[in-house]
Amino acid sequence: MLAMHSAAESKARRTNEANSKEETEAPFGLGVVLRLKPNETLFSEGDAAASFYQIKEGVIRSFRMMIDGRRQIISFSQPGDYLGLEWEGDRAMTAEAIIDTAVVSYPRRHLEGRATADVRVQNRMMAVLFGGLHNAQEHLVMLGRQTAMEKLGWFLVRLARSSRMNNGALALPMNRTDIADYLGLSMETVSRGFSLLTREGYIALPDAHQVCIRNFKRLDALARGEVPTAH
């Protein structure tokens, strides 16, 4: 639910990793580690929300589905991100692992009691919530007002900002359908878009699950809607 994707948030996350005992384990107490295989479900829409999670390793997709199967992915959560925070009531979405994933699970009430008492927990919680909101707002602009090519640029720029590079290449763990459902496009349009970006020299695709960004500046301009002739 509350993935951190913006530049500011991913900075916070890195800080957090640096002194992991201080920040990651302390504020919400001790949690239980869960391991998930690809496509395994962490929780489903409608479940009672008894826990929340922090990703240790891997990637999770969180989404909502319409009765006829149309799916909107709300976030891809990466190591350090929190998800599954609910105020009251049931889960509003489903969360599934994309690759082998490890999460730390905390009981929800574990947080409620501490949040009241500890200012640091409170601030941490606020930062996560505000980060989630900020994120969602950027997502809204993208979905509502960007063209297919701009959406792809936006996606890749975010990915670049939120993940570490692996000798010049970014991992693309999610498949084309996941990307499509995140960006409000069809799978085919995503595929065609990647091909075009490759042809135009924005990126290179060593294989389907790896991207090299060849011209970040131009890609960023595309993402911001500053490239009028983006086919």
| Among 1, 2, 4, 149, interactor with DNA by CB under 7 A | 149
- Segment near DNA (CB under 7 A); pick from 26-34, 105-113, 157-165, 188-196: 188-196
Report helix, strand or coil for 101. strand
The correct pick among 3, 83, 93, 190 for binding its own copies (CB under 8 A) is: 93
| From candidates 15, 41, 137, 177, binder to DNA by CB under 7 A | 177
Residue 167 touches its own copies, criterion: CB under 8 A: no
Q: Are residues 58 and 36 in contact, defined by beta-carbon separation less than 8 angstroms?
A: yes
Going by DSSP bridges, is the β-strand pair 210-213/203-207 parallel, antiparallel, or unpaired? Answer: antiparallel
When asked if residue 60 is in the footprint of its own copies (CB under 8 A), the reply is no
Sequence-ordered list of residues with C-beta below 8 angstroms from that of 6, at least 6 positions apart, any chain: 131, 134, 135, 138, 161
Residue with tokens 């082998």: 100
Please tell me whether residue 205 binds DNA under the rule CB under 7 A.
Answer: yes
- When asked if residue 84 is in the footprint of its own copies (CB under 8 A), the reply is no
| Cβ 116 to its own copies shortest distance, Å | 5
Total of chain residues touching DNA, rule CB under 7 A = 21
Q: Is 75 left (phi over 0), alpha (psi -120 to 50) or beta?
A: beta
- Under a CB-based contact definition with an 8 Å cutoff, are residues 49 and 89 in contact? yes
Report the C-alpha gap between 154 and 142 in whole angstroms: 8
Instruction: Give yes or no for residue 114 binding its own copies (CB under 8 A).
Output: no
Residues near its own copies (CB under 8 A): 1-2, 64, 66-68, 70-72, 74, 85-87, 92-93, 115-116, 119, 122, 125-127, 129-134, 136-137, 139-141, 143-145, 181, 183-184, 224-226
